Amino acid sequence: MGFMAVIGFAVARLRNLFAVVMLTGIFSLTAAVLYVLLDAVDVAFTEAAVGAGISTVLMLGTLALTSSEERVESTGGSRWALVLVVVTGAILVYGTFDMPAFGDPTAAIHHHVAPYYLEKSGQEIGLPNVVTSVLASYRGYDTLGEVFVIFTAAIGVLLIIGRPQFGRRRSHRMLVGELHESMRTNVILRVVSKLLIPVILLFALYVQWHGDFGPGGGFQAGVIFASGFILYALIFDIDTARTMIPARVTRIFLCLGVLLYTGVGIAGFFMGGNFLNYSVLAATPVSGQHLGILLVEFGVGLTVAAAMISIFFTFARQEH
Amino acid sequence: MMVAVTLAVLVTMALAVFRSILGPTVYDRILAVNAFGTLTVVLISVYGFLSERPEFLDLALVYALINFIGTIAVSKYVEFSHMGRPTGGDELGDI
Amino acid sequence: MEFLGLINYWIVIVLMMTGFYIVIAHDNLVKKIVGLNIFQVSVFVFYITMAKVEGGTAPILAEGITTYSNPLPHVLILTAIVVGVATTALGLALVVRIRDAYGTIEDDELENQEGES
Amino acid sequence: MDIILELLSWGLLAVGAIFLIIGGIGMVRLPDVFARMHGAGIIDTMGVGAVLSGLMIQGGMSIVTIKLILILVFIVFTSPTATHALARAALHGGVRPRNNEAPEEDTSQGGSSSKT
């Protein structure tokens, strides 16, 4: 915990935006360790997949497109900002005196629906990973909403900066660099990456389908899958990677994932259940739940992977 | 013993954070971040054994893979984006 | 002892306030987004802290374990992280677009330009 | 037999922990980037290798050991590559090792640092 506070302060003080991005990377790693210590394996998994790879790459992409140095100035307002922050913090600290102590099993949060999930999901859904069953089945609506948010964000990015740049010089320079000297010519990197990329993709599939039993699931798998392609695009270049997986394909998969999720929900209607009720999908409720969760997670994975890939390529193809 | 290893990892992590905050050049920071990622892998593996839930190993596996991508991206960015300004350290030195 | 039980919350608050300070006191838009990220992580940590049960382990059912941490906050935060990165990407896209249109990503310079035109 | 394995595993863990700390100190104390890479190299190879091997002996013959071997293999593959990319970037970016020798030699130093 102490680490995080220190890094937070450092981020606040440093002016060089590049250093800030590096520190954000460490910050996210620390956060993931903290999640592990607090038993949140799935959350740590997601943070691992997101924080170390994608978010750093996106931040760097933005820095490459804008400037990497913050303007130095002496703001008069920052003293007031500090006062405001300290006052707000003091009020919040005062508020914590009513909070239950750390790890207290009698806290209010543990007495509503959580025991029900923990006790019943074993019989009703039959999956060992409670997080997955809550995510995909009990809280199916929430997750559907989140998937739509990701979908919308990807569309937003595409709309804002993904326009085709007619009449402008199409130089893809963000991470591609000067091609003749780029990483493409670097034998060591190329060989190791060629070895690694299939493993990363395979591991993403493992996370996707094994998410019912251990930590993992659609969100994590999607991000890892996208990371594989991002590595490819970094080592070779954006255009080669784009011919591997054209914009058309990512767009289709982006929609297909969301449609698969809603489709599974609507299929429940026709089989005589409620929206997103998987129990009716197969002969027995438990196997129906299995099938439903598997399909839904696959939909989530598709959308997340496609969204991340298209966001990355949109950033990478910008002009300087 | 596991506790001792965990402590050692934590100490090393602290040293890496120190280097990454202090690091005069960008490359020091990248190096520190990379080392920090590797240390995270070790810490998670050891903690998995400590709490006797080896499911955590999947997590360590993700780190081993993803950390590499981060480092490559950063080196690439640094190598090709500001050629002319090698030491992008904080000129203010206000840490 | 009572204070030790609350120390996690206090660190969360320190983090949150750091993020808040970055957002309101810095003019650089990228820096503001980083501040938002820190704020976001502090909220995540807050949820996960509340989910922890003393003596419990990760909520993956296994033989011979009776106490698990609360899975519900984990679910919420898991989705929130991925959504967070998607929205961050959206914000960064806006920053890039602003830079395209105005040539700067400093907040006060933007305001000056708005005032002139 | 069990005792020997147990002792071996604890020994490996202890050695790993010591190497981790040595590497960390090296990363802080050494004078410039290229030298610091040696510190990181110690963490990546001796430290991680010994700790993970110790854990493998603890785990016995199971899926756990296989996963640990995978992790070890990935680290052995990726971290020298990452260090190599970093050293290259640093050399391109104009950072020179402190002894001011010819750049060709420096490249080999930067590249081999990860293998130490």
Residue C57 φ then ψ, to 5°: -125, -175
Predicted confidence (pLDDT) at residue D111 exceeds the cutoff of 60: no
Q: How high is the pLDDT of residue A314?
A: 82
Q: Secondary structure of D34-97 in the HEC alphabet?
A: HHHHHHHHHHHHHHHHHHHHHHHHHHCCCHHHHHHHHHHHHHHHHHHHHHHHHHHHHHHHCCCC
Which chain B positions have a beta carbon within 8 Å of D29's beta carbon?
none
Give the chains touching C; criterion: ≥3 Cβ pairs < 8 Å: A, B
Q: What is the pLDDT of residues D17-68, one digit of tens each?
A: 888 888 888 888 888 788 888 888 888 888 888 888 888 888 777 788 888 8
Of chain B, the percentage scoring pLDDT greater than 70 comes to 78
In a domain, B45, yes or no: yes
Q: How high is the pLDDT of residue B88?
A: 33
- Between CA D7 and CA D58 the distance in angstroms is 10
C101 touches A at CB < 8 Å: no
Which residue in D108, C63, B72, D25 sits closest to A57, CA to CA? B72
* Mean pLDDT taken over chain D: 78
Of the candidate ranges A145-154, A254-263, A277-286, D33-42, the one whose mean pLDDT is the lowest: A277-286
Q: What is the largest CA-CA distance in chain B?
A: 51
Q: How high is the pLDDT of residue A4?
A: 57
Predicted confidence (pLDDT) at residue B80 exceeds the cutoff of 80: no
* Mean pLDDT taken over chain A: 76
- Between CA C6 and CA A8 the distance in angstroms is 20
In a domain, B93, yes or no: no
Residues in a beta bridge with C28: C106
Q: Do at least 3 CB pairs under 8 Å connect B with C?
A: yes
Q: How high is the pLDDT of residue A179?
A: 44
Distances (CA, A) of C77 to A142, A159, D80: 12, 27, 34
Let me know the angle formed at the C-alpha of B39 by B33 and B41, rounded to the nearest 5 degrees: 110
Q: Average pLDDT in the A116-145 region?
A: 77
Residue of A7, A26, A177 with shortest CB distance to B80: A177
Evaluate the CA torsion angle A41, A47, A50, A51 in order and state its sign: negative
In a domain, B89, yes or no: no
Q: How high is the pLDDT of residue C1?
A: 38
Which chain C positions have a beta carbon within 8 Å of A150's beta carbon?
82-83, 86
Could B61 and D67 be called an inter-chain contact, meaning their C-beta atoms sit closer than 8 Å? Answer: yes
Per-residue pLDDT of chain C (117 residues; tens, 9 = 90+): 345 567 777 778 888 887 888 888 777 888 888 888 888 888 888 888 887 777 777 777 776 667 777 788 888 888 888 888 888 889 888 888 888 787 777 777 777 877 776
C23 touches A at CB < 8 Å: no
Highest mean pLDDT among A17-26, A133-142, A170-179, D45-54: D45-54
Q: What is residue A89's DSSP assignment?
A: H
In a domain, B94, yes or no: no
- Between CA B45 and CA B52 the distance in angstroms is 10
Q: Average pLDDT in the A29-40 region?
A: 81
Q: Domain of B37?
A: 2-81
Q: How high is the pLDDT of residue B62?
A: 84
Q: How high is the pLDDT of residue C46?
A: 85
In a domain, B25, yes or no: yes
Of the candidate ranges A14-23, A154-163, D70-79, the one whose mean pLDDT is the lowest: A14-23
What chain C holds in terms of domains, given with CATH numbers, is: 2-53+66-116 (1.10.287.3510)
pLDDT-derived band of residue B92, with 50, 70 and 90 as boundaries?
A: very low
Residue of B36, B61, B74 with shortest CB distance to A203: B61
Flag whether the ipTM exceeds 0.85.
no
Q: What is the pLDDT of residues A52-109, one digit of tens each?
A: 778 888 888 777 777 666 665 555 557 777 888 888 888 888 887 777 777 677 777 7
C107 touches A at CB < 8 Å: no
Q: What is residue A262's DSSP assignment?
A: H
Predicted confidence (pLDDT) at residue A229 exceeds the cutoff of 60: yes
Q: How high is the pLDDT of residue A16?
A: 65
Predicted confidence (pLDDT) at residue B21 exceeds the cutoff of 60: yes
Q: How high is the pLDDT of residue A270?
A: 80
pLDDT-derived band of residue B91, with 50, 70 and 90 as boundaries?
A: very low
Give the chains touching A; criterion: ≥3 Cβ pairs < 8 Å: B, C, D
D interface mutation test: which of A188, A200, A202 has the most D CBs within 10 A? A188
Which residue in A198, A128, A131 sits closest to C81, CA to CA? A131
pLDDT-derived band of residue A169, with 50, 70 and 90 as boundaries?
A: very low
A interface mutation test: which of C3, C40, C92 has the most A CBs within 10 A? C92
Q: What is the pLDDT of residues B28-59, one digit of tens each?
A: 888 888 888 888 888 888 888 877 776 778 88
Q: How high is the pLDDT of residue A8?
A: 59
- Could you give the number of structural domains in chain B? 1
Predicted confidence (pLDDT) at residue B86 exceeds the cutoff of 70: no
Q: How high is the pLDDT of residue B84?
A: 31
Could D77 and A189 be called an inter-chain contact, meaning their C-beta atoms sit closer than 8 Å? Answer: no
Q: How high is the pLDDT of residue A113?
A: 72
Give the Cβ contact number of residue B85 at 10 Å: 13
Q: How high is the pLDDT of residue A12?
A: 58
Which residue from C minimizes the CA distance to A5?
Answer: C15
Predicted confidence (pLDDT) at residue A263 exceeds the cutoff of 80: yes
